[in-house]
Amino acid sequence: MVIQRGDWAAFAKYPGTHNNQATQVKLNLDWKALELDSANAKLYAPAIAGMQTEKLWQPDNSISIAPKRGWLLVLDEVPRRAPPEVPTTQSSRSE
């Protein structure tokens, strides 16, 4: 499953403006429809050069989305280890 989230409402109302702060989102998932076990499922962001760092969340955790950014997320029951935390720099994506 691919999950996409964009905050276009503010942009549409005020063209040329945008929010400069990260947005916190929490997904509301229909586990029965997805046919996944909520106890075993994880949200995984694979590392994609120039787009995003690797990251792992519990599905009920909040996800921080940086301004003008997004995440490509995979929701599945594949066992994964959380990637090591990497310090961010000015040129890397903020989370």
Report pLDDT digits (tens) over 64-94: 888 878 888 999 999 998 888 766 555 445 4
Helices (H), the chain: 8-13, 31-34
Tokens of 93: 């994506």
Q: Is position 64 within any domain?
A: yes
Q: Give the number of domains in the chain.
A: 1
Contacts of 61 (CB under 8 A, 6+ apart): 26, 43
Mean pLDDT of the chain: 79
Q: Is position 95 within any domain?
A: no
Q: Is position 68 within any domain?
A: yes
Q: Which domain holds residue 51?
A: 2-6+23-76
Q: Is position 63 within any domain?
A: yes
Question: Can you give the pLDDT at residue 67?
Answer: 80
Q: What is the pLDDT of residues 45-60, one digit of tens each?
A: 999 999 899 999 999 9
Phi, psi angles (nearest 5°) of residue 16: 90, -5
Q: Is position 11 within any domain?
A: no
